[in-house]
């Protein structure tokens, strides 16, 4: 497993991150057992970074992970735990208030059976957030030892810059959707900002449009078939599976994108590492982009 060290820290993460959104399944004993096996498979494959959110499985995913930590307490010092907060339900809205973020962190720590989070991310932008208030909340959480580092998720470059302007320490990551369908971050300044500021982009739903339906997918059948043809051609050339090629396509970007792998199948968790070994060419990266766009490059 390849690793990446976040800028100005000693926090070293596996390049592939294991996403825990599905580990509790339908919350049955069978699905929970499968989830624990998936986590252990990720550990055995060299993943050391585990991504959570307070809303995943209504907290059950964090609780299941906490059970595993209780069973193997020595594991905590060897891994990075990220969790996110800021999305509220009934009705769904976003909330970055001090009271809510603080209570969310305390709930995550209790469920995860740990004293601290290595990374705490704001899940989706609260359009009403006050940067100074969030900065004060971050400072309190860090001084209490509950959080080591901070980042954001689904933030635009301007939203990130606004929050960063109120902080004394750098935001380490921006977790965003990046996949063959959603390539907005290539042109909206997000990945440019990540390179400029040394922020690590973490890709959620990296296989959207290939293995899983992408959010808001507007591809036609013709689009899908055109992409599939190019993926098949390249996969044959690189002796890999099409979905592994998609990961390699993301990994090629100089912003050092870290894809989240969310499968609960041990074989797929292990097989994802194949993408790290592919000597993926500059030319093929653009061929796939052109196939995705459905027209020649200008």
| 25-44: average pLDDT | 94
> What pLDDT score was predicted for residue 210?
65
Residue 8 lies in a domain: yes
- Model pLDDT, residue 290: 96
Residues 130-159 pLDDT 10s: 999 999 999 999 999 999 999 999 999 999
Per-residue pLDDT of 95-104, as tens digits, reads 999 999 999 9
Nearest to 53 by CA among 11, 17, 3: 17
Q: Which residue has the higher pLDDT, 213 or 293?
A: 293
Q: Give me the mean pLDDT over the 185-210 stretch.
A: 94
Which pLDDT does position 216 carry in this prediction? 65
What's the mean pLDDT in 282-296?
A: 95
**Which of 50, 124, 113, 120 minimizes the C-alpha distance to 80?**
50
pLDDT tens digits along 259-272: 999 999 999 999 99
Average pLDDT over all residues of the chain: 94
Evaluate if residue 218 carries a pLDDT over 90.
no
- The DSSP output letter for 199 is P
Q: Among residues of the chain, what percentage have pLDDT more than 70?
A: 97
Domain count, the chain: 1
Domain presence at residue 12: yes
Task: Place 213 in a pLDDT band, splitting at 50, 70 and 90.
Answer: low
Q: Which domain holds residue 17?
A: 3-293
29 exposure class (CB count in 10 Å sphere: 0-12, 13-18, 19+): exposed
Range among 205-209, 219-223, 234-238 with highest mean pLDDT value: 234-238
pLDDT, greater one: 66 or 219: 66
Beta strands in the chain (DSSP E): 3-5, 12-14, 17-19, 49-51, 80-85, 87-88, 93-94, 117-122, 147-153, 173-177, 200-204, 258-261
Whether 100 is catalytic: no
Of 18, 56, 238, 280, the catalytic one is 56
Spatial separation of the C-alpha atoms in residues 121 and 172, rounded to whole Å: 9
Q: Which residues pair with 152 in a beta bridge?
A: 122, 174
Percentage of the chain with pLDDT > 90? 90
CATH number of the domain where residue 55 is located: 3.20.20.100
Among 26-40, 201-215, 262-276, the range scoring the smallest mean pLDDT is: 201-215
Residue 238 domain flag? yes
Distance CA 272, CA 4 (A): 17
Report if residue 298 sits inside a domain: no
> Is the pLDDT reported for residue 214 higher than 80?
no
Write down the pLDDT at residue 297: 87
Q: What is the pTM of this model?
A: 0.94
């Amino acid at each position: 497993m390849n690793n990446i060290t976040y800028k100005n820290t000693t926090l070293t993460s596996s390049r592939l991150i294991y996403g825990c959104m599905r580990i509790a399944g339908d919350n049955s004993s069978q699905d929970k057992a499968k989830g624990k096996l998936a986590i252990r498979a990720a550990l055995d494959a060299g993943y050391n970074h585990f991504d959570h959110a307070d809303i995943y499985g209504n907290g059950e995913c964090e609780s299941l992970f906490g059970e595993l930590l209780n069973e193997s307490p020595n594991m905590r010092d060897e891994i990075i735990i990220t969790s996110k907060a800021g999305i509220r339900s009934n009705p769904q809205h976003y909330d970055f208030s001090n009271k809510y973020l603080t209570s969310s962190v305390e709930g995550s720590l209790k469920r995860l059976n740990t004293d601290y989070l290595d990374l705490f991310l704001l899940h989706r932008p609260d359009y009403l957030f006050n940067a100074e208030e969030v900065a004060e909340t971050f400072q309190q959480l860090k001084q209490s030892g509950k959080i080591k580092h901070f980042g954001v998720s689904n933030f635009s470059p301007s939203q990130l810059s606004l929050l960063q302007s109120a902080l004394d320490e750098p935001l380490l990551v921006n977790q965003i959707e990046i996949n063959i369908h959603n390539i907005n971050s290539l042109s909206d300044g997000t990945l440019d900002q990540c390179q400029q500021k040394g922020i690590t982009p973490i890709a959620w739903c990296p296989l959207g449009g290939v293995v899983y339906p992408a959010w808001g997918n507007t591809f036609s059948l013709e689009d899908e078939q055109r992409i599939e043809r190019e993926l098949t051609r390249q996969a044959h050339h690189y002796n890999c599976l099409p979905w592994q090629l998609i990961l390699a396509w993301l990994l090629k970007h100089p912003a050092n994108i870290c894809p989240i792998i969310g499968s609960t199948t041990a074989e797929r968790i292990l097989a994802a590492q194949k993408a790290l070994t592919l000597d993926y060419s500059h030319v093929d990266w653009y061929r796939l982009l052109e196939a995705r766009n459905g027209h020649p490059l200008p």
